[in-house]
Homo-oligomer: A and B are copies of this chain.
């Protein structure tokens, strides 16, 4: 069995392995070649009886694991949205693993609860959220790190559900929870992430999709119309999940219109800003969050963490009441390391660089008559397509991904098949973006040439 002496040696080797992996990641093919089921045949059918050596295990990382990895931190990865990783956060994670506490209550590890409260306030201040979203020393708000973005939405929805049931039962004690629940309606953009719909399914409430305008954003009028119809039908609107930065095209719902409406109708308004939220730490992007002052109860933001910041919730003590799971790792350590070792300026620079690269890609697309931009480029995502049929664009995407040089995923916008180019990796530089574009451009030329025959 591994003792501390061997751990010191192997741990240092692992640090080098990790550094080598990340320094040379662009030499690895970004998307793997394997077929479903590839891994099972490469390893035994059951766990070994006797311990194996570390050498045997680490050798299998390159033989078994790496051939099946999609390299999210490769500068050739432009799919989905970024998942942050940074050297400071990896260091914090090592420490977090060693402390290995389960922070389900204050006493279970006080530092774990308290650092989280303060880090969420740091984040709230970086985002310039109104005072009542902060915990402070006697605040009524505060934030919590959720395991994932999907849980943040679910927790907000469940909190809103309990609140409305309590409000109604206070006035009508004879009404059962099941009866009330059967009348509840939650709303979100038709462009909202699938996890929002899932939150409705899990919470057992109706979730209606609000149609969006030509910018793929929800306007007040669209919500207002649905609210009227639903109230007339005897239903009870109780929750809106507005999106700032949709997954498909990074569209922004009009929260300055939606906020006052929710306030008037006593609807819990939750903002899903999973992707776009971190950009609000830059003054030039903060106006995208304008309207938060009016009324808003919860907001979620992803970093290398997922957070949920709420208003008017009393003093935080035991975070287990703020989330689905009971147990929790000491995740705020990562925020603390990252905030301090980047500094606000470093984090702003990180975001600006990604936005700049996306703008660069946008102008390359715009300069090419064969292509069109499919949605306004606000942050690090460019939605684009060949002028022409969906089939043509599907074929182009297939060829791009089959060539394995870069990796993209598509989206549907107003019935159109669109390619999404999301600047993701920490290591993406201008020349990678230029290379990616020239590669796409070449594949397009070839495709269009074939089609013209």
Residue ranges of A at the interface with B (Cβ–Cβ < 8 Å): 1-4, 6-8, 10-12, 14-19, 21-23, 32, 34, 36-40, 43, 45-54, 56-57, 61, 64-73, 80, 83, 85-91, 93-95, 97-102, 106-112, 114-115, 117-118, 121-123, 125-126, 137, 147-151, 154, 158, 176-179, 181-182, 194-195, 198, 202-204, 317, 324-328, 333, 336-337, 339-346
Contact = CB atoms under 8 A, between A and B. Distances in A.
Contacts of A99: 21, 65, 69, 71-72
B182 A179 contact: yes
Copies per complex?
2
A320 to B, nearest CB: 9
A291 B64 CA distance: 36
Contacts of A57: 88, 336-337, 340-341
Contacts of A151: 324-325
B178 A148 contact: no
A8 B23 CA distance: 11
Given A38-B110, A48-B339, A178-B181, A14 B101 contact: no
Contact of A102 (B34, B71, B83, B94): B83
B325 A147 contact: yes
Given A3-B87, A46-B122, A50-B345, 10 more contacts: A7-B15, A39-B111, A45-B121, A46-B121, A47-B126, A52-B343, A57-B341, A71-B99, A93-B94, A148-B326
7 contacts: A7-B15, A21-B99, A22-B98, A51-B346, A53-B341, A89-B97, A202-B324
A232 to B, nearest CB: 20
A116 to B, nearest CB: 10
Residue in A61, A66, A123 whose Cβ sees the most chain B Cβ within 10 Å: A61
Contact of A125 (B46, B122, B123): B46
Contacts of A181: 178, 181, 204
Contacts of A7: 15, 18-19, 87, 90-91
A87 B54 CA distance: 11
A304 to B, nearest CB: 8
Contact of A148 (B39, B327, B343): B327
A68 B332 CA distance: 14
Contact of A68 (B86, B109, B178): B109
Contact of A176 (B122, B182, B203): B182
Contacts of A147: 147-148, 325
A373 B157 CA distance: 45
B11 A47 contact: no
B109 A72 contact: yes
Contact of A21 (B72, B98, B317, B344): B98
Contacts of A8: 15-16, 19
A22 to B, nearest CB: 6
Contact of A52 (B17, B32, B43, B340): B340
